[in-house]
Each structure stands twice: as structure tokens, then as C-alpha cells.
């Protein structure tokens, strides 16, 4: 015999179909928010680190230019930045040219997976991107 005013909770708990959909939607939204705030898994460089890498890349560019490096062929001008072992500096063209895809003109440490970030400058020393 049921008490007056008492409703059975059967079918209304976590296992009920409509609640599962609500929980699934909540989890999808939660995961989307987490990925958005962490940059899809993290691992990206901070803006401060990028700014420092660009500054160091510009110094490497001016040094390469002063020593007569042919920048038009798109060489790697720094296989490691001072104090930033995870960064390299590559000269490329914008838009890209076939010479930019030649492995001989790319930074070996980046190709080998020993460095994970790069600064790309054009042959005139303008920033293309830093990632």
C-alpha cells in the first residue's frame, strides 16, 4: 500500500531515457568547454613565449643577413633559439613557394620532432607566423 503523496521514483532516476540524454548533452557541452579553454588538448605556447621567440628569431634573422646567408632560398636560420630549445626559425615565402617545402631548407630539429614550435619569417624579415 502506497502512502498518500508518495510518488514512485521508478523510471525517473539516472537510468531513465530522458535523463541519459540530458546527462549526455551536459557532458558534451562540458567537454567542448574544456577543449576550448585548453586549446584542444593544450601543448601550445603562451603568448609571452611566442613574443620572446619572435624577438629571438628577429635577432637570428639580422645575424644571418649580416653574415651573407642567402635568405631567398628559405633556409633554416636557427635550429634552436637561445634559451628556447623547443623553437626553431625558418625563412619561407608568403605565399609559399616550392623551395619552402625542400627538406634541405627546413629545420632538422623540427622535422625530427626534437623541437615543437617554429617562427617563420619571410626573406625580408617580416613575421609570417609563430606556432
In whole angstroms, give the CA distance from residue 126 to residue 66. 16
| Residue 44 pLDDT | 86
In whole angstroms, give the CA distance from residue 60 to residue 121. 10
Q: pLDDT (tens digit, 9 = 90+) per residue, 111-125?
A: 999 999 999 999 999
| Residue 104 pLDDT | 92
Beta strands of 1-131 (E only): which ranges? 76-78, 87-91, 117-121, 127-130
In whole angstroms, give the CA distance from residue 15 to residue 19. 7
Q: Are 103 and 93 in contact (CB under 8 A)?
A: no
Q: pLDDT (tens digit, 9 = 90+) per residue, 39-96?
A: 444 468 999 999 999 999 999 999 999 999 999 999 999 999 999 999 999 999 999 9
**Strand pairing of 76-78 and 87-91?**
antiparallel
Pick from 9-18, 19-28, 120-129: least confident: 9-18
Q: Does the global pTM surpass 0.85?
A: no
- As a residue count, the chain comes to 131
Amino acid at each position: 500500500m502506497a502512502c498518500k503523496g508518495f510518488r514512485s521514483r521508478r523510471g525517473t532516476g539516472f537510468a531513465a531515457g530522458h535523463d541519459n540524454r540530458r546527462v549526455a548533452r551536459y557532458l558534451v557541452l562540458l567537454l567542448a568547454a574544456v577543449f576550448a579553454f585548453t586549446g584542444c588538448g593544450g601543448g601550445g605556447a603562451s603568448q609571452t613565449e611566442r613574443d620572446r621567440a619572435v624577438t629571438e628569431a628577429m635577432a637570428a634573422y639580422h645575424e644571418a643577413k649580416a653574415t651573407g646567408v642567402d635568405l631567398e632560398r628559405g633556409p633554416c636560420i636557427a635550429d634552436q633559439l637561445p634559451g628556447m630549445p623547443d623553437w626553431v626559425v625558418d625563412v619561407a615565402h608568403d605565399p609559399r613557394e616550392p623551395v619552402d617545402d625542400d627538406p634541405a631548407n627546413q629545420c632538422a630539429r623540427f622535422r625530427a620532432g626534437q623541437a615543437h614550435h617554429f617562427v617563420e619569417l619571410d626573406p625580408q624579415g617580416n613575421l609570417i607566423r609563430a606556432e
